[in-house]
Amino acid sequence: MPDPGVSGLTSGSLHAVAPVCRDCVWWQSRGNRTASKQRWIERAEEDWGEWGSVYLDDHGRLLGSLQYGPSHLFPRAADLPAGPASDDAALVTCLYLMRGATGWVEKSLLLAAIGESRDRGVAALEAFAYSYPERETQEERFLVHRTVFPRDFLDEFGFVTLRSHGRVQLCRLELGGLQPVEEGRRAKVLRVVQDAFTPTPVPIPRP
């Protein structure tokens, strides 16, 4: 079982994610062809290593998981409106959140993807987004459509729109300006990237 907090998603930790995610090959397939999840995992780990993140609480219960990796590993992106993803980018493909998970869970998972991708020297991180109507419920935004992100959620991290098709957008975050850190230190990566997106406190004048 992976340690509590955010850790890497691999064949060894796949059992920790939601059952629906363990065999899902929607992103790995294209058209009428269905990919083999096991073969895809072997290729992903050989080409890239950890291909996602999983978030567990202190009792080992799943809070959420995220899948991402080099864009060429996800051929479905070529079929989506506003696709395909860029060749030089890592693509965040889907986010699975458990009901009742706090708002920080999805942010922590995305921050980990940003940090790990930057640490690997990837030029950018991309994701497909959807512009939801105002006042849309949290459940609709994060629990119903798990393969596209709310556009305003990506705004918080500095993603910009590359292409759009109706309400669907392909969004990109350039990683060149983020501070590199020692390879393999996930906690340090997460802290550095988190600090990059945390506003500097403004001193409050004394009366």
Compute the average pLDDT of residues 79-91: 95
Q: What phi-psi label fits residue 121: left (phi over 0), alpha (psi between -120 and 50 degrees) or beta?
A: left
What is the reported pLDDT for 103?
78
What is the reported pLDDT for 200?
42
Phi, psi of 140 (to 5 degrees): -65, -40
Instruction: Give the model confidence (pLDDT) of 151-184 as tens digits.
Output: 989 999 999 999 999 989 999 999 986 554 444 4
Compute the average pLDDT of residues 49-56: 96
Query: Which residue has 């996800």 as its token pair?
Result: 74
Number of residues that this document lists for the chain: 207
Instruction: Give the model confidence (pLDDT) of 95-151 as tens digits.
Output: 999 888 877 898 999 999 999 999 999 999 999 998 887 776 666 666 666 677 889
pTM of the model: 0.82
In whole angstroms, what separates CA 3 from the centre of its chain?
Answer: 19
Mean per-residue pLDDT of the chain: 84
pLDDT at 90 over 60: yes
Tell me the domain boundaries of the chain.
5-196
DSSP string, 30-94: BTTB---HHHHHHHHHHHTS--EEEEE-TTS-EEEEEEEEEGGG-GGGGTSTT-PPPTTEEEEEE
What is the reported pLDDT for 23?
94
- What fold characterizes domain 5-196? Aminopeptidase (3.40.630)
**H or E, element range at 70:** strand 62-70
More confident residue, 135 or 65: 65
3-state secondary structure of 17: coil
